[in-house]
Amino acid sequence: MFSRQLTHPYTALAILLSSILTGCGGSSSGAIDETPSPGTISNPIIITQDLTYNYQSEMYNGSITTGSLYFKMSNLTFKSNGYTVTLSGVTDDANLYVYTDGTYATLQCSSTNVGTADDMCDPVSDANGDLYIRIDGSLTTNGTVFMLQAGT
């Protein structure tokens, strides 16, 4: 298959992968997309409040594996008495954490109810109207579906 001697073991692998990509309609040239997956710390799932309605509530239905998903709920009206964030509809034990900012380093509130019980906490959004939320699925067997809601 190769007409020249390959001096490094990874060279053969690179050539093989390049030919597979080209044969499958892919490209062996061009930039590699290094955008982090949605739901990571560096690329949280953004949920934006639609201010055309006269209520302050946002909902997101999704699923999680045995890792964590990160969310940023934005454009909420700042309320000094805060919001209620609820994680419900789970089929296994997932937990809810809300942080003070987008570094997800300083915990504002959390709920770690056991099993399929709803998790709730009452954070205050930052001055921009943002909430930073993490759902942890590490205690699930194979992940779970969920509904995440923030409202007044």
Helix (H, G, I), strand (E, B) or coil at 4: coil
- The reply to whether 8 falls in a domain is no
Range of the domain at 63: 45-151
The pLDDT of residue 17 is: 41
- The reply to whether 117 falls in a domain is yes
Overall domain count for the chain: 1
- The reply to whether 101 falls in a domain is yes
- The reply to whether 14 falls in a domain is no
- For the sheet with 45-48, list strands across it: 45-48, 68-74, 131-136, 95-99, 107-111
CATH number of 69's domain: 2.60.120.380
- The reply to whether 106 falls in a domain is yes
49/26 Cα distance (integer angstroms): 38
Q: Kind of pairing, strands 68-74 and 45-48?
A: parallel
- pLDDT, one tens digit for every residue, the chain (152 residues): 444 444 444 444 444 444 444 444 444 444 555 556 789 999 999 888 654 444 556 788 999 999 999 999 888 777 777 889 999 999 999 999 999 999 999 999 999 999 999 999 999 988 888 899 999 999 999 999 999 998 87
Place of tokens 């692998």: 13
Q: Do residues 84 and 119 make contact, with C-beta atoms less than 8 angstroms apart? A: no
- Convert 108-133 to b/e letters by CB count within 10 Å (16 or more is b): bbebeeeeeeebebebbbbeebbbbb
81/122 Cα distance (integer angstroms): 9
- The reply to whether 9 falls in a domain is no
Distances (CA, A) of 102 to 92, 108, 131, 145: 27, 12, 9, 24
